[in-house]
Structure 1
């Protein structure tokens, strides 16, 4: 029996006339945006932040494509990106960068989306000048990212470009997944192209043949085994490895060497200052075999997550007295209203009725849910927390729209195993290693140019203020 076909409105599809309808023409780059500032640059895009009076003078991010540089295949990818963001908005997914609109003019294509004032995770490392403690990574990054990826994977959607630069931090410190330029639905397409960022590619992606061989007909697309959602698990594992160590798990002087190390599974040793739970968690995500690599649901049950992200206990009902006195008055035919109680506790009464009090005994704990909000509030009862609230607290000193700029040159302070041994407990506070100043810069440019990168040379080439792309 054939599998049921999903309804049309349950798939991320962009209307064929989207760029020729009123939906895409009621915006104007000159009229609807002010205080425009360039904040990033992609391979074929420019990203700006701007105030948008149409959206209540909200600051937004705008990704701009130059039509003269957009090829037919890229144009299709842009439409798919917009369709994905519209689909996520329709499904009201949390922890993804919000979509506000898309439009075009004679020269450019525009995507208007949420502006994340905290930048991305790479910017955060540059600001903090050190790797993150594994507890913060668990609470602030691993848990929310696994949660939203689990939702996407249940929808048969894969992101295909998880990395530091594509995980953003909003104005209140919550992480949000962004840049859906490579995102696709496995219900609509097969993932047979070796796309993504080399340093984060899973071995099954590295093994895919080049697109040129498929286009030329040397290899049939039907002969290529498609990848699946496990590529996101691998890429998130690389991201978490970077956050807790300050380096990549697979390094090389250029992209071919990085690919060879990934294919050979030459995983750099994890430092001893990480707890066994954290090390096991990262190794599980970087499992070489696709079938053995755990899912998001399994990783959310991992001891590393349970150790730092235990769910809060359910609130207990407030203690209410077991005997509640209710003053009731039977309707009368016309007598006088009774005198008010001595303690000035007024009870509803019917004028002319009896004022004989009636005492009702009940088990208050068993019926607390039936009490009015007033009684619950007076007795100290607290409501259950919002299940969609982020586990993150407000950011501490993160640079927002008007915050301090990211410095041009920053040195990382790494964890010191000697300091860990001196403290006598795992995960001491990160401390700098003398003479071990490692830098990060220009990764996006180096990846596009085909060269690899290493921590020891990251900041030496930084030529412009670090303002990462809100993609």
Structure 2
């Protein structure tokens, strides 16, 4: 069977932010600076110290991804030797809406502590960018692995190695009122041990705070009720030029052992959807994520999208 084809895809010292460290840091890591040790692969139970405030605290190994607003860097934390992914957002390409969306994404993802969800370890900024330190996926993404496997996987692999962690992650999110809205192989990352982890919360929404009214996601995986929505908002970078300079002084507060909340006027939910209580009617809900999982399952087993045509 033919292989699946991909769909698309100088640091300066930061000025210290006002960060309140929790009394308890992440397991096995001391908050104070320690001499760098020999690099070691990331372990899911470890974490970068929440005291890190500068990109210079990381050794950049390579760039592994790039978009209009951001680049993803494979780095090693020089204090602990842990391998991490650092997502670096370029402030000179951001406007008020995209800045708010980044704040929203960080807040949602950081609220989800689950073994099958990519974890955020830290967030900080300098004059040039906003940086999000995350769990590093040494195994790449499921889409690449699918292509290497010939376009499809065995039934037991799909059921046990993919669907079990995906559904566990989705159940955890839905219990907290959070929809992902972009479940697909590219957003399922693999750890060093090839454990599947859900990533990329750029389209996620907390349905307790907002009504989902936007037609967002990847068309192959969108539920009919989502496709029918009249409001279409493009995926980051929102199709908007950088007309407004990103607000300075985004404040980051460390909470519990990890991170995270960005708390200025940027906070308050996704700019794509309507605030709860605004009177906007939510025409789709968490079931849209379940639909996407069904389409994902079909693709992994069959080797192609469930719905495909030469025309609309």
For the residue of structure 2 that corresponds to 1:125, the secondary structure is helix
Q: Please tell me whether the aligned partners of residues 192 and 227 of structure 1 are also in contact (alpha carbons under 8 angstroms).
A: yes
- Provide the residue aligned with 2:65 in structure 1: 40
CA distance in 1, matches of 2:91, 2:52: 19
Q: Please tell me whether the aligned partners of residues 200 and 235 of structure 1 are also in contact (alpha carbons under 8 angstroms).
A: yes
CA distance in 2, matches of 1:20, 1:208: 41
Quickly say closer, same or farther: Cα 1:42–1:231, change in 2 above 3 A: farther
Deviation at 1:130, TM superposition (A): 3.8
Q: Write out per-residue CA displacement over residues 57-110 of structure 1, whole angstroms, 9 at most, x where no aligned residue.
A: 11101111111222222211111111122212xxx3221111110111111111
Higher fraction of helix: 1
CA distance in 1, matches of 2:132, 2:281: 33
Q: Write out per-residue CA displacement over residues 121-180 of structure 1, whole angstroms, 9 at most, x where no aligned residue.
A: 101112223410112100111122112211211221111110100111111121111111
1:134 aligns with 2:155: yes
> Displaced runs of 4+ in structure 1, greater than 4 A?
23-26
CA distance in 2, matches of 1:25, 1:94: 23
1:21 aligns with 2:18: yes
Q: Please tell me whether the aligned partners of residues 142 and 188 of structure 2 are also in contact (alpha carbons under 8 angstroms).
A: yes
CA distance in 1, matches of 2:221, 2:66: 20
Choose which of 53, 75, 83 in structure 1 pairs with 2:99: 75
Q: Please tell me whether the aligned partners of residues 213 and 231 of structure 2 are also in contact (alpha carbons under 8 angstroms).
A: no
Deviation at 1:32, TM superposition (A): 0.9
For the residue of structure 1 that corresponds to 2:111, the secondary structure is helix
Choose which of 213, 224, 227 in structure 1 pairs with 2:284: 227
CA distance in 1, matches of 2:59, 2:284: 43
Q: Please tell me whether the aligned partners of residues 89 and 131 of structure 2 are also in contact (alpha carbons under 8 angstroms).
A: yes
TM-score (norm 1): 0.45
1:60 aligns with 2:81: no
- Provide the residue aligned with 2:35 in structure 1: none
Q: Please tell me whether the aligned partners of residues 151 and 304 of structure 2 are also in contact (alpha carbons under 8 angstroms).
A: no
Bigger Rg, which one? 1
Higher fraction of strand: 2
CA distance in 2, matches of 1:25, 1:117: 24
CA distance in 2, matches of 1:38, 1:223: 41
What is the 5 A alignment of 1:125-164? 125-164=146-185
Deviation at 1:36, TM superposition (A): 2.7
What is the 5 A alignment of 1:207-286? 207-211=228-232, 222-253=279-310, 257=311, 260=312
- Provide the residue aligned with 1:50 in structure 2: 75
CA distance in 2, matches of 1:130, 1:160: 23
Unaligned runs of 5+ in 2: 1-15, 21-49, 234-270, 273-277
TM-score (norm 2): 0.67
Q: RMSD value over aligned CA atoms?
A: 2.3
Deviation at 1:25, TM superposition (A): 8.6
Q: Please tell me whether the aligned partners of residues 73 and 87 of structure 2 are also in contact (alpha carbons under 8 angstroms).
A: yes
CA distance in 2, matches of 1:250, 1:43: 29
Q: Write out per-residue CA displacement over residues 358-403 of structure 1, whole angstroms, 9 at most, x where no aligned residue.
A: xxxxxxxxxxxxxxxxxxxxxxxxxxxxxxxxxxxxxxxxxxxxxx
- Bigger Cα displacement from structure 2, 227-236 vs 20-29: 20-29
CA distance in 2, matches of 1:121, 1:180: 16
Deviation at 1:223, TM superposition (A): 5.0
Quickly say closer, same or farther: Cα 1:150–1:178, change in 2 above 3 A: same
Quickly say closer, same or farther: Cα 1:25–1:69, change in 2 above 3 A: farther
Unaligned runs of 5+ in 1: 1-18, 216-220, 261-471
Choose which of 184, 189, 198 in structure 2 pairs with 1:177: 198
For the residue of structure 2 that corresponds to 1:22, the secondary structure is coil
Q: Please tell me whether the aligned partners of residues 50 and 61 of structure 1 are also in contact (alpha carbons under 8 angstroms).
A: yes
How many residues are paired up?
Answer: 226
- Provide the residue aligned with 1:84 in structure 2: 108
CA distance in 2, matches of 1:150, 1:26: 32
